[in-house]
Amino acid sequence: MKDDVQFSHPKVQELRELSKWSDGHVWVSPEQHGNLTAVFKNQIDWIPLSTGSVRPTQGRTLAIAQVNGGSQSFNSVNSLRILGRWMRMFTIPNQSSIPKAYTQYTAADGPEGGNRLMPSDNRARLVDCMEELVKYTIIMRPHFELFGDRHSERMERRAKEAKEAKEAKEAKEAKEANESIEPKDSTKT
């Protein structure tokens, strides 16, 4: 569970490093009680919006999907899209929602390794989403730093630099003023 004490946990650090390393994310959540699960949201909450001057998700591409126990719904993907936007990610236009997920997968002990999404229109739609993610990521990858260069942050940085320069100048002037009024030691030659 996310709190301010466990941020140094090795798995939290691993998640953050993987997010920073990645060019894009794929988020898939089951829908429970009309929205994404708390477990999934909690994991996303461990990824910070910023770490110093680094924004680990800004400009990254994001594909979203959900699985449903019942009929098809889009509540989780809508919430995931909002989260992605809040984290300054580029969420691809396409999305996938798989209804009655318990009927869509092969048996756990299947010859192909089990628990695989069976060929269907739902699987084709999910593959379409992954292809779209790859294409958008290829387009966006060379421009990640461009998304980190924001007018408001440049203004904030300039104001901070001006304040630091002013403080340094005032400190230098104060030091020089103190040195000029200090009595000279007449014993020195």
**CATH code for the domain of 110:** 3.40.50.360
- Examine the domain organization and report whether 95 and 144 are in the same domain: yes
Q: Give 184's DSSP letter.
A: P
- Other C-beta atoms within 10 Å of 175: how many? 10
- Examine the domain organization and report whether 162 and 130 are in the same domain: no
Residue 185 lies in a domain: no
- Examine the domain organization and report whether 103 and 160 are in the same domain: no
Q: Average pLDDT of 115-142? A: 93
Count of domains forming the chain: 2
User: Residue 182's beta-bridge partner residues?
Assistant: none
- Examine the domain organization and report whether 134 and 161 are in the same domain: no
Question: Is beta strand 35-36 parallel, antiparallel or unpaired with respect to 24-32?
Answer: antiparallel
Residue 184 lies in a domain: no
Residue 186 lies in a domain: no
- Examine the domain organization and report whether 77 and 13 are in the same domain: yes
- Examine the domain organization and report whether 88 and 143 are in the same domain: yes
- In angstroms and rounded to an integer, the radius of gyration of the C-alpha atoms of the chain is 26
- Examine the domain organization and report whether 73 and 162 are in the same domain: no
- Examine the domain organization and report whether 90 and 167 are in the same domain: no
Residue 44 lies in a domain: yes
Give the model's pLDDT for residue 164. 95
Residues 41 and 48: beta-carbon distance below 8 Å: no
The pLDDT-based confidence of 54 (bands split at 50, 70, 90) is: low
Q: Tell me, rounded to whole angstroms, the distance of Cα 145 from its chain centroid.
A: 14
Whole-structure pTM value: 0.74
User: Which of residues 11 and 149 earns the better pLDDT score?
Assistant: 11
- Examine the domain organization and report whether 102 and 9 are in the same domain: yes
- Examine the domain organization and report whether 37 and 84 are in the same domain: yes
Residue 188 lies in a domain: no
- Other C-beta atoms within 10 Å of 176: how many? 10
Q: Which domain holds residue 52?
A: 4-148
Give the model's pLDDT for residue 116. 87
